[in-house]
């Protein structure tokens, strides 16, 4: 089985750690910084990202990655967005104004509530290890090698709100607030958490992605 994967570098991602994690899992990684260097026929593609949604979309457009990702999404080959890379898969975000996303998935990116269900404030950004909870079946997805309540690492202030039933794959509980942790639709996957920083659980997510 070919374990080739293309990683899109658009200047705001955590590419080095993602690259190392994928290589640790046996992947042959090609990192590209502009669409002309990428192959839409690549076996699989990863879009990492940290920082602000609007900045990410601006860089994707400047490098021609927005059109590339949309074309790749129409194939049956696996695509994975990580953190902001997952958020831009949605239609829009309210982070620092209204910003349009790639529209691959229906829904919006909204601020993580600043208080828990008890009305008390909690830390924003949402940082730390949380236990993954199933929302939809994990069999056959990137979470197939993960057990419910295994812990993964988050650092973010905004989270996706899928509007289509069945897209939300997993969530975590933040003081009683459900936070979307992973999504899946057809060949499209997204992780709000950082698999490259989530120890063996995160590596198992990447291993399964490489096997899809």
Give whole-number Cα distances, 108 to 3, 34, 73, in Å: 32, 26, 18
Catalytic residue flag (residue 122): no
Q: CB within 8 A of 156, min separation 6: which ones? A: 83, 112, 125, 126, 192
CB atoms within 10 A of CB 121: 10
The two tokens of residue 191 are 């992780």
Task: Write down the catalytic residue from 99, 156, 184, 194.
Answer: 194
Catalytic residue flag (residue 196): yes
Catalytic residue flag (residue 110): no
Task: Write down the catalytic residue from 59, 95, 171, 196.
Answer: 196
CA distance 138 to 136: 6
Task: Write down the catalytic residue from 83, 150, 156, 171.
Answer: 83
Which residues participate in catalysis according to the annotation? 83, 194, 196
């Amino acid at each position: 089985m070919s374990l080739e994967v293309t990683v899109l570098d658009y200047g705001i991602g955590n590419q080095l750690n993602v690259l190392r994690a994928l290589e640790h899992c046996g992947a042959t990684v090609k990192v590209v910084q502009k669409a002309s260097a990428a192959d839409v026929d690549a076996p699989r593609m990863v879009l990492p990202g940290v920082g602000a949604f609007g900045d990410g979309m601006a860089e994707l457009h400047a490098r021609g990655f927005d059109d590339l990702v949309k074309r790749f999404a129409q194939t049956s080959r696996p695509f994975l967005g990580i953190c902001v890379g997952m958020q831009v898969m949605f239609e829009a975000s309210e982070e620092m104004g209204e910003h349009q996303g790639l529209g691959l998935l229906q829904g919006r990116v909204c601020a993580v509530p600043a208080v828990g269900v008890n009305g008390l404030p909690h830390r924003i950004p949402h940082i730390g290890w949380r236990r993954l909870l199933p929302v939809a079946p994990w069999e056959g997805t990137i979470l197939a090698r993960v057990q419910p309540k295994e812990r993964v690492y988050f650092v973010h202030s905004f989270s996706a709100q899928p509007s289509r039933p069945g897209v939300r794959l997993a969530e975590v509980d933040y003081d009683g607030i459900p936070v979307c942790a992973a999504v899946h639709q057809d060949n499209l996957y997204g992780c709000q958490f950082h698999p490259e920083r989530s120890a063996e659980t995160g590596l198992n997510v990447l291993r399964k992605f490489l096997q899809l």
